[in-house]
């Protein structure tokens, strides 16, 4: 049994403690907004917040986050009000296929918490997620817009 | 298995012929039996609910490219409905087949989504509008010609009466569809050409969007699979006793003769068991194949006597022998994997009476054909449900290996839905790769530096020989698709007017399966042709833009896009110090495309692309905002390929396994992309998703030469120690 807090809710999961957090979120907790893309922490599709910091969940054993506060894309909005990054994503029509976007949004939200007015260089350093559709031009514009919101 | 599939393709193309002949048919069908709910459809494309919601049904797949929004704009333009009330859904291939393929082609590739269906979907919208107006006129007992229609509201001006689509939809659905409906003149378009918002954004930012990977069915189990790493190899044996006791593991099954799958309660359990499952492989003869042996085969083809001719005019021998200066260069373009962010997957449920598949697919009918072949059931007992795609890029259209596998697994567990997920490693090693190709280019210049002869010898892999062998058979062994962008005529016609021209192909087909990779053969052909044009111009001592222009007689639209990017980048004035420029142009998928870029190079190997100006002339631009995104997005795909991506063969298998050794561009490497759209109408609609991808790489390579004096002729550039920064 591993205990963790996901989107403000206490959870207890009965899994092998080496199971990556990603698969616990997806398969035990049914939170499929966090995506699998590589399994080796390269692509960032699985990005979630662990105690407020962006982390890649696909290569992180669930035992490592026992007792920690995890936020997934499903928990980013405050009730019905979308997070300003999500709003900017809609306004700038960032997603194409959308598969990597939940991880991209989680990375962007963590960046803005740390640096409310990020420069292009800050964005380059913090956003290292892979997007095969190539939405980067819109990602950058939307992060700057969210910073102004 | 092959017989079944072929039978299906033949019969479905026969159905397509019938559709083309009797075009009234789709608008006339009375459809209650096909309805998922009780709302009757006006016709195959349009359902209007009592609350005025407009459901537009489309066969093409949305995979990020925006085609569904564009197609809905086309229908809505003619329908005169309120755009804010538009939504969409996919018909199933099984339903379409029962209704004589009323929705036309499901295949979403070749940048065809809009350009080859705009006429019949607009007609679908127009026919529905006429029926809705007629229904209102009937209620009011007036002539429909006295009624006007806009934003889903029908008005009878004389009496001041108004009604909405939702209120007359049920009556309209009972009317006979009209004949001789006229489409609007493009000058009257209000919605087509506008950058309206996509219909499918909201769920993508909240995690609600369900991709194939996310699907959950009651009682569903999960499967992980390992196919023989060497193409053509087989499973010799596997020891299921080692994993059957592991938590959650339900079954270990052979999949065809080359793969093994573990089925478990969760995917992680299935994968963990598969990782430790002892499997013995019979790698077969391909295990002896190396990258070196493949490259040697291609090199031999560069000077082979026999080759298939793709384009020729004049007398190439005379042209080259009369030249005062001869330039020769050899180029190379490697295998590349599609690597969409969502790895391959499919979910299947089989019983002896019914088999269904849920799959992210670019071609619902190709999925259906694979399902029929693998299940052995007749079409009326099967169907495919299309699920959202996490990228496609050509991997999920013609190739349905994951559907075949999922059905083969489900067949061994009748009644239980099984979701098969590939790992990234499986995806990297079992792709259908961008074909491997070399080219030797020989050009001749006369005393004045005029280009008097050009021979392009391609040597390498044919996609169609592997994927559509009947086309190659019809062409007596030739693969016409190899000449994309270099062809004598058609949607991929060569963009220069060169006297004494020969473009031919020595087909050399290694064992690695080739596929359609966004842009397909224009990727390498644009690098070969457009870099060599710079080489020729420089040998002639001429400006690269001027040299091209002199060789573009009778090609006004090629010239149009080239001039547009040259002007925007400021070609006539020198760039600021330390910045260098390059150009390229081509015709692809019936669109004319060109790019001009500005780069700088630090330390001889760190390339910064500051800016790419791209022009696309597709004739018609349905949604300019989405065209811009397709252009800049395609450059991420294409430039990742140029700088960092190659799949190589080691002992018969692909050596790369994940994004650490097959990297993809990040935001820090993204250049500023400025898109110019030229849309002057005409008879032909060009494609959007793919054409422009091809001009970025040669433009950057040409700029790199200007910056460093080094001509790079093989991809990817990482082999030269070059980094994109």
Residue B8 pLDDT grade (very low, low, confident, very high; cuts 50, 70, 90): very low
Query: What residues of A are in contact with residue B664 (Cβ under 8 Å)?
Result: 43, 130, 132
Overall number of domains in chain B: 3
Rounded mean pLDDT, B653-681: 98
Q: What is the DSSP letter of B157?
A: T
User: What percentage of residues in chain B have a pLDDT greater than 90?
Assistant: 94
- Residue pLDDT, tens place only, B66-117: 999 999 999 999 999 999 999 999 999 999 999 999 999 999 999 999 999 9
Residues B547 and B445 in one domain: yes
CB contact under 8 A, A23 and B268: yes
Residue B224, pLDDT > 50, answer yes
What pLDDT does residue B40 have?
Answer: 86
How far apart (Å, rounded) are the C-alpha atoms in residues A25 and B268? 11
Rounded mean pLDDT, B445-474: 98
Q: Where are the beta strands (DSSP E) in B393-436?
A: 418-421
CB contact under 8 A, B664 and A132: yes
User: What percentage of residues in chain B have a pLDDT greater than 70?
Assistant: 95
- Residue pLDDT, tens place only, B567-626: 999 999 999 999 999 999 999 999 999 999 999 999 999 999 999 999 999 999 999 999
Rounded mean pLDDT, B8-31: 32
Which of B39-48, B589-598, B613-622, B690-699 has the lowest average pLDDT? B39-48
Instruction: Give the CA dihedral B19, B25, B31, B36, nearest 10 degrees.
Output: 40
Q: Does residue B697 sit in helix, strand or coil?
A: helix
- Residue pLDDT, tens place only, B624-645: 999 999 999 999 999 999 999 9
CB contact under 8 A, A98 and B198: no
Decide if B12 is inside a domain: no
Which residue in A19, A43, A133 is closest to B659 by CB distance? A43
- Residue pLDDT, tens place only, B249-269: 999 999 999 999 999 999 999
Residues B381 and B505 in one domain: no
Question: Which residue, chain included where needed, has tokens 């192909």?
Answer: B505
Q: In this complex, is the C-beta atom of B199 within 8 Å of any C-beta atom belonging to chain A?
A: no
Residues B257 and B109 in one domain: no
- Residue pLDDT, tens place only, A58-80: 999 999 999 999 999 999 999 99
- CA angle B500/B505/B510 to nearest 5° reads 165
Residue A13 pLDDT grade (very low, low, confident, very high; cuts 50, 70, 90): very high
Phi, psi dihedral angles at B613 (to 5 degrees): -100, 125
Q: What is the DSSP letter of B41?
A: E
| Distance in Å, alpha carbon of A81 to nearest chain B alpha carbon | 11
Q: Does residue B346 sit in helix, strand or coil?
A: strand
What pLDDT does residue B39 have?
Answer: 80
Residues B408 and B448 in one domain: no
Find residue B329's DSSP bridge partners: B441
CB contact under 8 A, B205 and A89: yes
Going by C-beta distance under 8 Å and a sequence separation of 6 or more, which residues neighbour residue B479?
B308, B462, B463, B464, B465, B471, B472, B505, B507
What pLDDT does residue B31 have?
Answer: 38
Going by C-beta distance under 8 Å and a sequence separation of 6 or more, which residues neighbour residue B32?
B40
Is the CB of residue B159 less than 8 Å from the CB of residue B140? yes
Decide if B7 is inside a domain: no
- The H or E element spanning position B282 is strand B279-282
Residue B1, pLDDT > 90, answer no
Q: Give the pair of three-digit tokens for residue B697.
A: 């790489």
Is the CB of residue B646 less than 8 Å from the CB of residue B79? no
Complex-level ipTM = 0.98
Residues B195 and B230 in one domain: no
- Residue from A23, A19, A123, A135 nearest B214 by CA: A23
How far apart (Å, rounded) are the C-alpha atoms in residues B460 and B336? 14
Residue A31, pLDDT > 50, answer yes
Neighbours of B208 (CB within 10 A): 14
Residue B29, pLDDT > 50, answer no
- Residue from B115, B59, B55 nearest B87 by CA: B55
- Residue from B477, B472, B459 nearest B525 by CA: B459
Decide if B498 is inside a domain: yes
How far apart (Å, rounded) are the C-alpha atoms in residues B646 and B334? 6
Burial string for B559-596 (b: 16+ CB within 10 Å, else e) reads: bbbbbbbbeebebeeebeeebbbbbbbbbbbbbbbbbb
CB contact under 8 A, B389 and A97: yes
What pLDDT does residue A100 have?
Answer: 98
Q: What is the DSSP letter of B111?
A: T
Q: Does residue B624 sit in helix, strand or coil?
A: helix
Domain span(s) for CATH 1.10.150.120 in chain A: 84-148
Phi, psi dihedral angles at A23 (to 5 degrees): -75, -25
- The H or E element spanning position B4 is helix B2-21
How far apart (Å, rounded) are the C-alpha atoms in residues B299 and B297? 5
Find residue B333's DSSP bridge partners: B437
Residues B218 and B75 in one domain: no
Going by C-beta distance under 8 Å and a sequence separation of 6 or more, which residues neighbour residue A118?
A111, A112, A126, A143, A144, A147
Among B204, B225, B258, residue at a domain's last position: B204
- Residue pLDDT, tens place only, B332-367: 999 999 999 999 999 999 999 999 999 999 999 999
Q: In this complex, is the C-beta atom of A86 within 8 Å of any C-beta atom belonging to chain B?
A: yes
B296: exposed, middle or buried (Cβ count in 10 Å: 0-12, 13-18, 19+): exposed
CA neighbours closer than 13 Å in the CB half-sphere of residue B86 = 30
| Distance in Å, alpha carbon of B673 to nearest chain A alpha carbon | 8
Burial string for B494-507 (b: 16+ CB within 10 Å, else e) reads: bbbebbbbbbbbbb
Residues B684 and B588 in one domain: yes
Residue B28, pLDDT > 60, answer no
Neighbours of B189 (CB within 10 A): 17
Minimal Cα distance from A78: which residue of B? Answer: B206
Residues B369 and B280 in one domain: yes
Radius of gyration of chain B (CA): 27
Is the CB of residue B439 less than 8 Å from the CB of residue B457? yes
CB contact under 8 A, A42 and B658: yes
What pLDDT does residue B38 have?
Answer: 63
Minimal Cα distance from B690: which residue of A? Answer: A133
Within its chain, how far is the Cα of A99 from the centroid? 12
Residue A122, pLDDT > 50, answer yes
Q: A-contacting residues of B 57-96, CB under 8 Å? A: 63-66
Rounded mean pLDDT, B156-178: 97
Query: What residues of B are in contact with residue A34 (Cβ under 8 Å)?
Result: 207
Is the CB of residue B525 less than 8 Å from the CB of residue B459? no
Q: In this complex, is the C-beta atom of A96 within 8 Å of any C-beta atom belonging to chain B?
A: yes
CB contact under 8 A, A35 and B266: no
Q: Which domain CATH number covers B565?
A: 3.30.365.10
Give the CATH architecture of domain A84-148: Orthogonal Bundle (1.10)
**Cis, bond preceding B670 (omega within 30 deg of 0):** no
CB contact under 8 A, A95 and B205: yes
Find residue B279's DSSP bridge partners: B238
Q: What is the DSSP letter of B670?
A: P
Decide if B147 is inside a domain: yes
Q: Where are the beta strands (DSSP E) in B59-215?
A: 86-89, 147-150, 153-156, 161-164
Residue B25, pLDDT > 70, answer no
Q: In this complex, is the C-beta atom of B204 within 8 Å of any C-beta atom belonging to chain A?
A: yes
Residues B162 and B67 in one domain: yes
Domain span(s) for CATH 3.10.20.30 in chain A: 2-75
Per DSSP bridges, beta strands A69-71 and B46-48 are unpaired
Minimal Cα distance from A81: which residue of B? Answer: B206
Q: What is the DSSP letter of B470?
A: H
How far apart (Å, rounded) are the C-alpha atoms in residues B42 and B39? 9
| Distance in Å, alpha carbon of B253 to nearest chain A alpha carbon | 22
Q: In this complex, is the C-beta atom of B673 within 8 Å of any C-beta atom belonging to chain A?
A: yes
Decide if B444 is inside a domain: yes
- Residue pLDDT, tens place only, B460-475: 999 999 999 999 999 9
Q: In this complex, is the C-beta atom of A91 within 8 Å of any C-beta atom belonging to chain B?
A: no
Query: What residues of B are in contact with residue A137 (Cβ under 8 Å)?
Result: 629, 632, 670, 672-673
Is the CB of residue A1 less than 8 Å from the CB of residue B179? no
Decide if B8 is inside a domain: no
Instruction: Give the CA dihedral B181, B117, B13, B176, nearest 10 degrees.
Output: -30
Sign of torsion over alpha carbons B615, B199, A56, B276: negative
Decide if B16 is inside a domain: no
How far apart (Å, rounded) are the C-alpha atoms in residues B640 and A8? 39
Is the CB of residue B43 less than 8 Å from the CB of residue B27? yes
CA-to-CA dists, residue B575 to B570, B578, B607, B645, B704, angstroms: 8, 8, 16, 30, 14
- CA angle B533/B539/B545 to nearest 5° reads 45
Which of B21-30, B40-49, B502-511 has the lowest average pLDDT? B21-30
Q: What is the DSSP letter of B209?
A: -
What pLDDT does residue B128 have?
Answer: 98
What pLDDT does residue B604 have?
Answer: 95
Q: Where are the beta strands (DSSP E) in B120-220?
A: 147-150, 153-156, 161-164
How far apart (Å, rounded) are the C-alpha atoms in residues B274 and B252? 9
Rounded mean pLDDT, B423-435: 98
Which domain does B650 fall in, by range?
291-336+433-724
Among B204, B225, B245, residue at a domain's last position: B204
Residues B524 and B588 in one domain: yes
Q: What is the pTM of this model?
A: 0.95
CA-to-CA dists, residue B97 to A136, B369, B383, angstroms: 40, 11, 10
Residue B37, pLDDT > 80, answer no
Looking at the domain covering A2-75, what would its CATH class be? alpha beta
Decide if B617 is inside a domain: yes
Among B369, B395, B421, residue at a domain's last position: B421
- Residue from B404, B89, B418, B97 nearest B266 by CA: B418
Going by C-beta distance under 8 Å and a sequence separation of 6 or more, which residues neighbour residue B447?
B324
Residues B410 and B329 in one domain: no
Q: A-contacting residues of B 398-437, CB under 8 Å? A: 421, 423-425
What pLDDT does residue B35 have?
Answer: 41
Residues B658 and B692 in one domain: yes
How far apart (Å, rounded) are the C-alpha atoms in residues A6 and A16? 18
């Amino acid at each position: 049994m591993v205990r963790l807090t996901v989107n403000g809710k206490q959870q207890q999961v009965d899994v092998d403690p080496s199971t990556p957090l990603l698969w616990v979120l997806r398969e035990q907790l049914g939170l499929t907004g966090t995506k699998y893309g590589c399994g080796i922490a390269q692509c960032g599709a699985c990005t979630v917040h662990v105690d407020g910091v962006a982390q890649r969940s696909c290569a992180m054993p669930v035992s490592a986050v026992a007792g920690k506060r995890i936020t997934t894309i499903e928990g980013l909005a405050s009730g019905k009000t979308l997070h300003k990054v999500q709003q900017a994503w809609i306004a700038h029509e960032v997603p194409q296929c959308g598969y990597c976007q939940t991880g991209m949004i989680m990375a962007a939200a963590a960046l803005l918490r740390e640096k409310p007015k990020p420069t292009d260089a800050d964005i380059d350093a913090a956003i290292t997620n892979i997007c095969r559709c190539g939405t980067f031009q819109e990602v950058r514009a939307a992060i700057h817009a969210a910073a102004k919101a | 298995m092959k017989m079944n599939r072929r039978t299906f393709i033949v019969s479905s193309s026969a159905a397509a012929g019938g559709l083309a002949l009797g075009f009234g048919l789709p608008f006339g069908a009375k459809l209650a039996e096909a309805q998922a709910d009780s709302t009757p459809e006006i016709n195959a494309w349009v359902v209007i609910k009592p609350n005025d919601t407009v459901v537009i049904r489309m066969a093409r797949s949305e995979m990020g490219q925006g085609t569904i929004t564009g197609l809905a704009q086309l229908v809505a333009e003619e329908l005169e409905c309120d755009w804010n009330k538009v939504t969409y859904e996919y018909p199933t291939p099984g339903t379409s087949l029962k209704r004589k393929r009323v929705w036309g082609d499901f295949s979403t590739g070749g940048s065809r989504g809009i350009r080859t269906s705009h006429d019949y979907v607009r007609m679908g919208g127009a026919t529905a509008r006429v029926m809705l107006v007629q229904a209102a006129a009937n209620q009011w007992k007036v002539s429909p010609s006295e009624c006007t229609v806009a934003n889903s509201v029908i008005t009878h001006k004389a009496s001041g009466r108004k009604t909405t689509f939702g209120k007359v939809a049920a009556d309209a659905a009972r009317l006979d569809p009209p004949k001789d409906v006229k489409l609007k003149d493009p000058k009257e378009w209000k919605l087509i050409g506008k950058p309206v918002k996509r219909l499918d954004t909201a769920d993508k930012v909240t995690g609600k969007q369900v991709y194939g990977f996310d699907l959950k069915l009651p009682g569903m189990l999960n499967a992980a699979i390992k196919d023989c790493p060497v193409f053509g190899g087989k499973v010799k044996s596997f020891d299921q006793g080692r994993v059957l006791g592991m938590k959650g593991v339900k079954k270990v099954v052979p999949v065809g003769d080359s793969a093994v799958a573990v089925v478990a309660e969760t995917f992680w359990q299935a994968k963990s068991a598969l990782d430790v499952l002892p499997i013995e492989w019979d790698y077969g003869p391909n295990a002896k194949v190396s990258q070196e042996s493949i490259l040697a085969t291609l090199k031999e083809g560069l000077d082979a006597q026999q080759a298939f001719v793709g384009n020729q005019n004049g007398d190439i021998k005379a042209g080259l022998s009369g030249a005062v200066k001869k330039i020769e260069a050899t180029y190379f373009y490697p295998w590349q994997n599609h690597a969409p962010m969502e790895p391959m997957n499919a979910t299947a449920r089989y019983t002896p009476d019914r088999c269904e598949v849920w799959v992210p697919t670019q071609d619902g009918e190709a999925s259906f054909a694979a399902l029929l072949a693998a299940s052995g059931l007749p079409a009326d007992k099967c169907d495919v449900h299309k699920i959202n795609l996490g990228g496609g890029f050509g991997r999920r259209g013609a190739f349905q290996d994951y559907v075949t596998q999922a059905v083969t697994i489900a067949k061994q567990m009748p009644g239980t839905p099984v979701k098969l997920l590939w790992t990234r490693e499986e995806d990297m090693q079992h792709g259908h790769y961008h074909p491997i190709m070399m080219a030797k280019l020989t050009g001749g210049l006369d005393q004045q530096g005029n280009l008097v002869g050009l021979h392009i010898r391609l040597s390498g892999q044919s996609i169609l020989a592997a994927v559509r062998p009947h086309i190659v058979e019809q062409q007596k062994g030739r693969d016409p698709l190899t000449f994309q962008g270099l062809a004598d005529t058609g949607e991929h016609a060569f963009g220069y007017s060169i006297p004494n021209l020969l473009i031919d192909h020595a087909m050399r087909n290694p064992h690695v399966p080739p596929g359609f990779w966004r842009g397909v053969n224009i990727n390498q052909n644009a690098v070969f042709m457009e870099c060599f044009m710079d080489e020729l111009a420089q040998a002639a001592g001429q400006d690269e833009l001027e040299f091209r222009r002199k060789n573009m007689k009778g090609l006004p639209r090629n010239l149009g896009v080239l001039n547009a990017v040259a002007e925007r980048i400021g070609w006539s004035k020198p760039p600021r110090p330390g910045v260098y420029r390059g150009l390229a142009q081509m015709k692809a998928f019936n669109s004319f495309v060109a790019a001009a870029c500005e780069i700088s190079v630090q330390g001889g190997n760190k390339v910064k692309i500051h800016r790419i100006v791209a022009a696309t002339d597709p004739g018609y631009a349905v949604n300019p905002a989405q065209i811009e995104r397709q252009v800049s997005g395609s450059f991420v795909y294409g430039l990742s390929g140029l700088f960092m991506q190659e799949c190589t063969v080691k002992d018969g298998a692909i050596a790369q396994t994940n994004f650490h050794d097959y990297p993809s561009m990040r935001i820090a490497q993204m250049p500023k992309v400025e898109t110019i759209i030229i849309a002057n109408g005409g008879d032909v609609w060009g494609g959007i998703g793919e054409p422009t991808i091809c001009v970025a790489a040669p433009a950057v390579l040409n700029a790199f030469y200007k910056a460093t004096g080094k001509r790079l002729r093989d991809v990817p550039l990482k082999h030269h120690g070059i980094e994109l920064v």
